[in-house]
Chains A and B, each alone.
Chain A
Amino acid sequence: MHPAYSVILFTTASGAGYGLLALLGLVGISHGEASSLAFGLTVVVVALGLITIGLLSSTFHLGHPERAWRAFSQWRSSWLSREGVAAVVTYVPAVVFGAVWSGLIAAPALVAPLAVVTAIMAMITVLCTAKIYSTLKTIRAWYNPWTVWVYLSFALATGAVLLAAITSVFGNFPAFLVYFSSTLLALTTIIIIFYWRSIDAAPRDLTMGDATGLGRLGQVSQWEQPHSAPNYIQKEMGYVVARRHAAKLRRLVIAALLLAILVMLSALVVPFAALLSMALALFAAVVQRWLFFAEAQHVSSLFYGAKAA
């Protein structure tokens, strides 16, 4: 599948934003209000900012951005519509929670209930994003039970390193955050390895003979393309560049995640190391997301000469 940069930016930036929002909810539940107004506002603005940048980027990738509002209507059947609804609805508790938690509005009693709602809505939004991909039967690498966990774990892990990084800037850096974000990064590493093992092990048992139904006669191969230059289907579904470099890029993702963990642990001594860990984790997330698209093969590519899908 063609890796559209807008979609990669959307899923990684919004993912990190929602992950951060969900973790702020946890902080709100366990610790109550933010330690300072400046810190609280900064974290909330970063979270909502990342979410907004991501959402805007995904909107600009549409053929008709001005019609985007129509996407809220089909939540009964479409995960993309559900994602749109969840994303917009999440703003309501998130903004109120942000104002109350940071201390902009003094209502300590409301912190916990708002935190719960915000955290749940943030995770539901990420789940909806993952479901868009994991319900597409036409793309075997996405139609996989691990897809949802990949999206959730990357959202939470990148959210956690963001939280650690911002906290390190504001001083008063608790060791707990280091352990917490390292654990999430480790969990994410394990999940992405399981995901890759799973898609590698999944049988690619559909052939050109199955797609055309001509397999019943004998061995099918492509004789002539229907057109002289690549069409939309080939450009959108037939992206193969990454598959050649997939092994290297996978190692790069794992190396970046492991390095992010080590650097995060070193933040116990030098708090600012959390910033470097954040950069590494975000880099890993972007490369992973690019691979997620570029490695995925679409069934329709069988009509255009793919051997198996």
Chain B
Amino acid sequence: MTSLPPPSAKKLGLVIDLDTCVGCQACATSCKEWNMQGFSGPLTDTNAYGSDPSGVWFNRVHGYEVKEPEQAQSRIVNFPRSCLHCEEPACVTVCPTGASYKRAEDGIVLVNPETCIGCKLCSWACPYGAREYDQSQGVMKKCTLCVDRIYNENFEPEDRQPACVKACPTGARHFGDLGDESSKVSQLVAERGGYDLLPEMGYKPVNKYLPPRARRDATNTRAEALPRPDGSAFDRLFQWADKVLSPKKASARANEPDNSGQLEG
């Protein structure tokens, strides 16, 4: 049934910390690795080692540059993007076959690979680009929130988490019940001002993003703010040591402006 179930009390999802994500792609690769043989597997690749590789991934890590008004240097924000398991997912209601569905018990949005006809309409309906068509399987694929891990009783309880969350080396990904206000993830969202992507579109995503923290005063990392040689006895000593220890050939370049007494900014 692609009509949506009544809103579930339990809303499983991810909270992604844009402040601590370092863009290492560990979440993306471990997702790919796990889901190769999971619920929606395989995640096929074509021409994987050629000049024009393409393949299905549930998770893509973008890099954005943000130019903040009062800062001299822009900042880089690594931005993992995957299915947000919306409370009102249009990708589900447009599905003509019932292959796309939202689970009534925990809100996870899934595609049944046995009944999907590969019409691609769901991917058109998703504003987040979360669904990717598997050309060789002829069906649509998407993040399963590792439904085959999180309830897997063959795993130790601490491993019953999505592969991406387990893999993150900086703890930038958190998994939990966002329908429960007392859960760790809900508290994290409240504490850090977690936000929805494109809330104006009205799909009510469950996953939340924690904004990058405000930057420290940038002047203390800029070259001008660093200590400069002040002509003291120590400075002269270091300059003399630097000259003596530098290889002879380097003296040819000694006429160029000498920055050796300064730290790189």
Complex contacts, A227 vs chain B, CB 8 Å: 57, 60
Given A223-B63, A300-B128, decide whether A229 and B118 contact each other with a Cβ distance below 8 A.
no
Give residues of chain A (219-271) contacting chain B, Cβ–Cβ below 8 Å.
Answer: 219-233, 236-237
Give residues of chain B (120-145) contacting chain A, Cβ–Cβ below 8 Å.
Answer: 120-121, 123-129, 132-135, 137-140
Q: Which residue of the partner chain, among A84, A132, A232, A299, contacts B56 with CB atoms under 8 Å?
A: A232
Q: Find the residue from A61, A72, A73, A206 having the highest chain B CB count within 10 A.
A: A73
Complex contacts, B264 vs chain A, CB 8 Å: none
Give residues of chain A (25-82) contacting chain B, Cβ–Cβ below 8 Å.
Answer: 61-65, 67-68, 70-74, 76-81
Task: Give A238 Cβ to nearest chain B Cβ, in Å.
Answer: 10
Q: In the complex, what distance in Å separates the CA atom of A232 from the CA atom of B131?
A: 9
Given A71-B119, A80-B96, A299-B127, decide whether A226 and B62 contact each other with a Cβ distance below 8 A.
yes
Contact indicator B61/A226 (Cβ below 8 Å)? yes
Given A68-B117, A71-B117, A220-B65, decide whether A211 and B197 contact each other with a Cβ distance below 8 A.
yes
Complex contacts, A64 vs chain B, CB 8 Å: 116-118, 138-139
Complex contacts, A298 vs chain B, CB 8 Å: 124, 127, 129
Q: In the complex, what distance in Å separates the CA atom of A1 from the CA atom of B125?
A: 12
Q: In the complex, what distance in Å separates the CA atom of A228 from the CA atom of B115?
A: 32
**Chain B: how many interface residues by the 8 Å CB criterion?**
71
Given A229-B54, A232-B133, A233-B132, decide whether A303 and B1 contact each other with a Cβ distance below 8 A.
no
Answer yes or no: B198 CB below 8 A from chain A CBs.
Answer: yes
Task: Give B12 Cβ to nearest chain A Cβ, in Å.
Answer: 21
Complex contacts, A208 vs chain B, CB 8 Å: 64
Q: In the complex, what distance in Å separates the CA atom of A77 from the CA atom of B93?
A: 5
Answer yes or no: A203 CB below 8 A from chain B CBs.
Answer: no
Contact indicator B118/A138 (Cβ below 8 Å)? no
Contact indicator B61/A74 (Cβ below 8 Å)? no
Give residues of chain A (188-208) contacting chain B, Cβ–Cβ below 8 Å.
Answer: 206, 208
Contact indicator A74/B52 (Cβ below 8 Å)? no
Q: In the complex, what distance in Å separates the CA atom of A26 from the CA atom of B157?
A: 69
Complex contacts, B202 vs chain A, CB 8 Å: 137
Q: In the complex, what distance in Å separates the CA atom of A71 from the CA atom of B116?
A: 9
Q: Tell me which of B66-74, B165-173, B174-182, B183-191 binds A.
A: B66-74
Complex contacts, A68 vs chain B, CB 8 Å: 117
Complex contacts, A218 vs chain B, CB 8 Å: 66-69, 71, 74
Q: Tell me which of B76-84, B217-225, B228-236, B241-249 binds A.
A: B76-84
Answer yes or no: B3 CB below 8 A from chain A CBs.
Answer: yes
Contact indicator A74/B201 (Cβ below 8 Å)? no
Complex contacts, B123 vs chain A, CB 8 Å: 232-233, 236-237
Q: In the complex, what distance in Å separates the CA atom of A230 from the CA atom of B53?
A: 8
For residue A61, which residue of chain B has the nearest CB? B119
Given A74-B95, A226-B62, A232-B54, decide whether A138 and B121 contact each other with a Cβ distance below 8 A.
no
Answer yes or no: A107 CB below 8 A from chain B CBs.
Answer: no
Answer yes or no: A183 CB below 8 A from chain B CBs.
Answer: no
Q: Which residue of the partner chain, among A81, A136, A214, A303, contacts B81 with CB atoms under 8 Å?
A: A303
Q: In the complex, what distance in Å separates the CA atom of A245 from the CA atom of B93?
A: 34
Given A79-B94, A80-B96, decide whether A213 and B209 contact each other with a Cβ distance below 8 A.
yes
Residues of A within 8 A of B (CB): 1, 61-65, 67-68, 70-74, 76-81, 84, 132, 135-139, 206, 208, 210-214, 216-233, 236-237, 298-300, 303-304
Residues of B within 8 A of A (CB): 1-4, 18, 23, 28, 52-57, 60-69, 71, 74-77, 79, 81, 90, 92-99, 115-121, 123-129, 132-135, 137-140, 195-198, 200-202, 209, 211-212
List 5 additional contacts besides A67-B116, A73-B96, A211-B127; criterion CB under 8 Å: A63-B118, A221-B65, A227-B60, A236-B124, A300-B126
